[in-house]
Structure 1
Amino acid sequence: MTRHIALLAYPDCQLLDVTGPWQVFASANALSPQPLYRLTLLAESVGPIVTNGGLAVNATHSYHQLTPLLPLDTLLVAGGSGVMQQRDITEVKAVLREMAPQVRRLGSICSGAFLLAAAGLLDGYRVTTHWRHAEQLADEYPALNVEPDALYIESHGRYTSAGVTAGIDLALSLVEADHGAGLAGRVARELVMFLQRPGGQSQFSEILRCQQKVGPLRRLLDQLHADPSVDHGLDSMADLMAISPRHLTRLFKRHLKTTPGAYLTQLRLEQARLALLDEREQLSLERLAQRWRLGGAEQLRRQFQRYYGVSPSVYRQRFASSSADSSMEPHACP
């Protein structure tokens, strides 16, 4: 069965919100013996749509002529700076409300959630969006249950995702739901993505957070990141800074909104996560916990689930599934 996927674009939408998910489904087609998805770029009128980066995409169908398109398997609404103007257009919201009952999966990428919310199609649902816009979305649409830190969320047939690249993760999850983890893994490898990130994973990683190195903490953070396996305690960290443990804790809370111990634990979890995917070692959870000073296997499992929203075994299996299928994968280059 070929599933019909439509993406809704408009002037000043985010280019990657359109092309990222589109390429995931197109790659799934290319990696399969027969097409799995029919792809449609939908807009107010047929023709070029200039995205907010200045590059144009070509809409093949107008939402003024819906009858040939419906029903749809999936409709995804792109985000971008133009969404705020779109949500004030009565006709666009009316079209979305008309389409919704005939769409199996209705979703948005990034700030596209504002358009679905303005049409009243997310009331009562769990949703997410780019972290920068999450507070505004929650304030302006109090009927939504906004979860600002998730990469993507499925809530009773409604799908929302965080900024730009998270739309690719969402599309990969839809491919996995339709055709299994093997194909989703092959698509991720074809796109040179390390791994499909689970939806409950935080939008941030400690590698990203470390860019927040600020002021008096920078010297200490450099040492923690250099080797998180060192037996850093609160007293030894305070000694490195030549301040009291109490003052160090205050600095962490002021600048990083966490404690020294929690920050170090998250750094160590990052290292354990990377080690899980190292096929050369394939260390047990007990060994990983010992190496990165995370207690025992059960403690590592609980912390991993809490921070990444998925168990270590599932995380490792998702990567293994894409590796196992690599022998079936056509070469992208001659």
Structure 2
Amino acid sequence: MTMIPHFLPPMKNIAIFLFEDFQILDATGPIAAFEIAERIAPGSYHLKVLSMEGGTVRSSSGITIDSAIADSSQSLDTLIVVGGKGSRQAMHDHESTAYLRARAENTRRLCSVCSGAFLLAAAGLLEGKRATTHWHRSEELQRLFPAIRVEADRIHIRDGTIWTSAGISAGIDLALALTAEDLGEAIAKRVAQQMVVYYRRPGGQSQFSALAELGSDATSFSSLFEYMRTHLSERLTVEQLAAHIAMSPRNFARAFVREVGISPAKAVERLRLEVARERVETSREPIEQIASSTGFNDPERMRRAFVRHFGQPPQALRRVYAQPNTAGSLRSKQHPFIK
């Protein structure tokens, strides 16, 4: 690997914070990214792994990682809190949350991967801030901590000194963004190249969203979901959907709600929102054309749906995602892999 000789700021201490039953990729993904950055630009990073008691910490897979005792007086530049199955218990550990509050006072960046956001939230560090977590737990995070502005579709979000990222592998996206801020995009792109990952991943979490899960779990309606996705420009009424699977409208509506958990109309709207948002963020296609082809028909109707679900209109999302340094699931106009 060719090193890049250039002036570097002082070495940054990066710490990964673990707890029992953590998700191992939440830790090892960022560790690998920072390790490669250090090899490309020697003297940039020093890595350490911390836990409240120190010693070996067991991941949910059974694999263990050695750690040092977390001490709020240690000099740290960045602390990354991992997620995983054990986050449900760790968020109620008062010593852990007290440590995170103390670290917030003397650490330049405090970050989370996946459900690590629950520990930051339990420590009171996300109140009034924008944050993300694994899409599967985003509703739970919003319910437990209503003062947080949860944006479930984002890959990572920066709000002040706090960075949160989405599920599991998004820890790599987070580490690349941190590296770009510290060492510049050229080095971060080299790290992505060595890891054979997207430098900026195309698409947000919506591509792995609850509707995708519903389409696979709700086996009675799997074919219907595919039909809905390919006919979004049509009205897709209950009668039309029921006829497609040879059911009466009343029985279909009841069975759909019972098995899927939402009404057919809500499911259609969420599918339309997913497809429309992806096209708003990744293309220059006129908003009116997107509204028509995804079944909203009226751009104002689509605008209201965007504001209701995403907190901002399509034009605002397009402006945000056009900015090259905006945190989140940025869309590259170039080939996603670095050559």
* SS of aligned partner of 1:221: helix
- Deviations along 1:106-136, whole A, 9 cap, x unmatched? 1222332333333333344333333454455
Pick from 57, 62, 65 the counterpart of residue 57 of structure 1: 65
Residue number in structure 1 paired with 2:125? 121
* Alignment partner of 1:107 is 2:115: no
- Matched with 2:20 is 11
Residue 15 of structure 1 deviates from its aligned partner by 0.9
**Structure 1: 5+ residue runs without aligned partners?**
277-282, 328-334
2:50 pairs with one of 21, 42, 53: 42
Contact 1:76–1:108, Cα closer than 8 Å, also in 2: yes
Farther-moved stretch of structure 1 (117-126 vs 255-264): 255-264
SS of 1:26 mapped into structure 2: helix
User: Is the 2:120–2:126 contact (alpha carbons within 8 Å) kept by the matching residues of 1?
Assistant: yes
Shift of 1:5: 1.5
State the aligned residue count: 312
Distance in 1 separating the partners of 2:80 and 2:184: 21
Cα pair distance change 1:119/1:230, threshold 3 Å: closer
Residues 257 and 193 of structure 1: CA distance in aligned 2, closer, same or farther (over 3 Å): farther
For 1:326, the equivalent position in structure 2 comes to 338
Quote how far apart the aligned CAs of 1:145 are: 1.4
Give 1:144-163 correspondences, 5 Å limit.
Answer: 144-147=147-150, 149-151=152-154, 152-163=156-167
**1:156–1:193: structure 2 CA closer, same or farther, 3 Å change rule?**
same
- 1:94 is aligned to 98
Equivalent-residue separation in structure 2 for 1:99 and 1:284 (angstroms)? 43
Question: What is the aligned-residue RMSD (CA, Å)?
Answer: 4.6
Amino acid at match of 1:19: T
2:40 counterpart of 1:28: no
**Amino-acid identity (%):** 31
Q: Is 1:265 the equivalent of 2:272?
A: yes
Contact 2:17–2:79 (8 Å) recurs in 1: yes
Paired residue for 1:211, among 209, 213, 216? 216
Kindly provide the CA deviation profile for residues 217-276 of structure 1, in whole angstroms up to 9, marking residues without a partner as x: 333334445x558867547545423456787677666636362653553575498599x6
Question: Structure 2: which amino acid aligns with 1:175?
Answer: T
Shift of 1:9: 1.3
TM-score (normalised: structure 2) = 0.68
SS at match of 1:106: strand
Change (3 A) 1:249 1:90: closer
- Residues 128, 148 of structure 2: 8 Å contact kept: yes
| Offset, 1:18 | 0.9
Task: Measure, in 2, the Cα distance between the counterparts of 1:37 and 1:53.
Answer: 28
Q: Which amino acid aligns with 1:211?
A: S
CA distance in structure 2 between the partners assigned to 1:105 and 1:134 by the alignment: 22
Residue 8 of structure 1: CA displacement? Answer: 0.8
Whole-Å separation in 2 of the counterparts to 1:323 and 1:102:
39
Aligned to 1:326, the other structure's residue is in SS state coil
The corresponding residue for 2:87 is 83
Question: What corresponds to 1:311 in structure 2?
Answer: 318
Distance verdict in 2 for CA 1:179–1:285, change over 3 Å: farther
Alignment partner, residue 293 of structure 2: 293
Q: 1:175 to 1:268 in 2, by over 3 A?
A: same
Distance 2:31 2:85 in 1: 20
